[in-house]
Structure 1
Amino acid sequence: MARTDRLMRLMDVLRRLTPPVTAARLAEETGVSPRQLYRDIATLRAGGALIDGEAGLGYTLTEDPALPPQSFSRLEIEALHLAVQSLGRIGDDDLTDAGQAALARIIATLPERQSQQALHAIMHSFSNQPERAPAQIELALLRDACWQEQAIQITYTDLKGDQTQRVIWPLGLSYSERSLMLLAHCRLRMDHRVFHVNRISAAEVTGDSFRPRRAALVRDYLQVRRHYPPAATKQYQGDLE
C-alpha cells in the first residue's frame, strides 16, 4: 500500500473508532505491523495532527489540521445520517464502508454541540422490502470501468434465459432496494442497454478505452428517454435486457 494511502487510512480509523484506540487495534484495522504503526503515528504528528496517547495506553485524535471547521444544521446532519444508512440497503459493502468513513470524517470537523447531535441522530431508515439478488461479480470492477471509461466483456443471461457474451461500454450504475442496474452501450447490439447486474456471471476489462465518448452517450440516452413515454420505451431498442 502506498504511504499516502496508508496514512489516510490510519487517520480514518482514528476518526471512526471510540478513543482511546490501542496500537494493536490500529495496526489490525490498517493492516500494518505495530512497528510500522508507531512510525506512521510519528509521521502524522510531524505533519501537524494532534494525536494524544502512547503505546500501551491507546491513541486519541484531538485535532486534525487537514479538516477545517464546518457547520451543518441539525436537519442537514440527520439527512446525512439517513443517506449513509440507506447505503446499507441499496449499496454493496465497499460503498457502505465508504459512506460511513466519509460521514465519520465530516463529524470529526463539527463543533462539539453538533458532533453530539450527529452521534445521537433521531431519524433512522427502515425497510421491509425483500433483499435484491446478489451480484455474481466484483462491483468494484464495474465502478472502475465506468470511471476509467474502459470497455468490458461480460457473460450475460437476459430476461428470456438466453446467455450471450458481449463487449459493452459501461456508462453508469443505478442502485435501488430491489435491483442494481448497469447502463451501457452494447457493442453487440450497437445501442444502449440496461443490464441487471445480478445476471452478469462474468466480467473482464478488455483494455480498450471509449474515452471521451461517455458524456455524449449518456446525453443521447437521456434525451431518448425524455421523448418517449414509459410504455413506448419498451419497444425501443435501448430498453432492459
Structure 2
Amino acid sequence: MPRADRLLRLLQLIRVMAPPITAARLADETGVSVRALYRDIDALRAAGARIEGQRGYGFKLIEDPSLPPQSLDRDEIEALALGLAEVGSWGDPMLAKAAASVLSKVAATLSDERGRQLIHVIARVFQPTPRYASDMDLSPLRNACWQEVAVKISYLDQKNHESEREILPLSLVYNEDCVTVLSWSCLREDFRMFRTDRITALRSTDRSFRPRRVALLRTYLEQLQGQLSGQMARRK
C-alpha cells in the first residue's frame, strides 16, 4: 500500500476505533511495524493532524477545523441520510431539528457531486405519524443524563398506579414502540427500566452522581446482554 494511502487509513482508524487505540493495534490494522507506525503518527502530526497520546498510553485524534473534512463514499452518504431521516421521524422536536442541522452542515463540507447525492438519496424513510407518540418533553431527562444528576419522577405502573421514584438516569433507549430510560433506582438500589410515556412528572434534584454514569451504564448493559444470552440459550 502506498504510504499516502496508509496515512489516510491510519487517520481514519484513529477517528473510528474504540479506545484504547494503542500503537500495536494500529500497526496490526495498517500492516506495518510498531516503529513504522510511530513514524506515520509523526508524519500526520507534521501535516497538521492533532493527535494526542504517547507510547504505552494510546492515541486520540482531536478534530481540528484546519483539517480537511472526511470524504464520504456514496454508501456512507446513503447511510447518513437514512439515519438522520429516521431520527427526524421519531417525533422528538429537538432531535428532529438537530438531525436537519447535521444534514445541512455535512452537505456544506462535501463536493458538489456528493452534496447532490446527499440531498437526493435513493433510500427514504416513510413514517406518516410520529414513531414515539408522547406528550413528554425528553429534553430535561436527556439533560439529566448528560449532567449526571438524580431526578425524581412520578410514574404510572402497568396497573396505572402512580408512585414517586428517585433515579439516576443513565441512558435513553429508543425501542420499537417506546423510549425507555435505563436507570439506577435509589430506592431499590438496583437497575431499572422506565418507559418515558408513563412518566407524568419529572424534577431534577441537582444531586450529582458524576462520574458514575458510564461505569453504571456499562454494568447494566452487560447484565442485559447476559440475560438476553441466557434467554436465547434456553430457547435452543
TM-score by length of 2: 0.64
Paired position in structure 2 for 1:122? 122
Q: Distance in 1 between matches of 2:187 and 2:123?
A: 46
Paired position in structure 2 for 1:212? 211
Alignment of 1:1-241 (within 5 A): 68-90=68-90, 92-127=92-127, 131-136=131-136, 138-229=137-228
Tell me the SS of whatever aligns to 1:165.
Answer: strand
Q: Sort the Cα spacing of 1:78 and 1:174 in 2 relative to 1 into closer, same or farther, 3 A.
A: same
Q: Distance in 2 between matches of 1:89 and 1:150?
A: 29
Residue type of the partner of 1:192? F
Whether the aligned pair in 2 keeps the contact of 1:130 and 1:178 (CA below 8 Å) is no
Tell me the SS of whatever aligns to 1:82.
Answer: helix
Residue type of the partner of 2:114? Q
Residue type of the partner of 1:158? D
Q: Sort the Cα spacing of 1:155 and 1:66 in 2 relative to 1 into closer, same or farther, 3 A.
A: farther
Unaligned runs of 5+ in 1: 1-64, 233-241
Whether the aligned pair in 2 keeps the contact of 1:149 and 1:170 (CA below 8 Å) is yes
Residue type of the partner of 1:200? I
Q: Distance in 2 between matches of 1:147 and 1:201?
A: 21
Residue type of the partner of 1:210? F
Q: Sort the Cα spacing of 1:114 and 1:131 in 2 relative to 1 into closer, same or farther, 3 A.
A: closer
Whether the aligned pair in 1 keeps the contact of 2:90 and 2:131 (CA below 8 Å) is no
Q: Distance in 2 between matches of 1:86 and 1:130?
A: 10
Whether the aligned pair in 1 keeps the contact of 2:84 and 2:99 (CA below 8 Å) is yes
Question: Comparing 200-209 with 83-92, which one deviates more in the overlay?
Answer: 83-92
Tell me the SS of whatever aligns to 1:228.
Answer: helix
Whether the aligned pair in 1 keeps the contact of 2:91 and 2:131 (CA below 8 Å) is no
What's the offset of the Cα at 1:230?
Answer: 7.2
Q: Distance in 1 between matches of 2:76 and 2:159?
A: 45
Q: Distance in 1 between matches of 2:223 and 2:70?
A: 42
- RMSD over equivalenced CA pairs, Å: 2.3
Residue type of the partner of 1:72? L
Aligned length: 167
Q: Distance in 2 between matches of 1:177 and 1:90?
A: 11
Q: Sort the Cα spacing of 1:183 and 1:122 in 2 relative to 1 into closer, same or farther, 3 A.
A: same
What's the offset of the Cα at 1:82?
Answer: 0.3
Whether the aligned pair in 2 keeps the contact of 1:84 and 1:99 (CA below 8 Å) is yes
Residue type of the partner of 1:198? D
Question: Comparing 146-155 with 156-165, which one deviates more in the overlay?
Answer: 156-165
Paired position in structure 1 for 2:5? none
What's the offset of the Cα at 1:177?
Answer: 4.7
Deviations 1:170-213 (A, max 9, x none): 00001135111100111122211110101101001101001111
Identity among equivalent pairs (%): 41
What's the offset of the Cα at 1:125?
Answer: 1.6
What's the offset of the Cα at 1:74?
Answer: 1.1
Q: Sort the Cα spacing of 1:105 and 1:131 in 2 relative to 1 into closer, same or farther, 3 A.
A: closer
Question: Would you identify which runs of 4 or more consecutive aligned residues in structure 1 move more than 3 Å?
Answer: 65-70, 127-133, 229-232
Q: Sort the Cα spacing of 1:100 and 1:228 in 2 relative to 1 into closer, same or farther, 3 A.
A: same
Residue type of the partner of 1:155? S
Tell me the SS of whatever aligns to 1:223.
Answer: helix
Tell me the SS of whatever aligns to 2:184.
Answer: strand
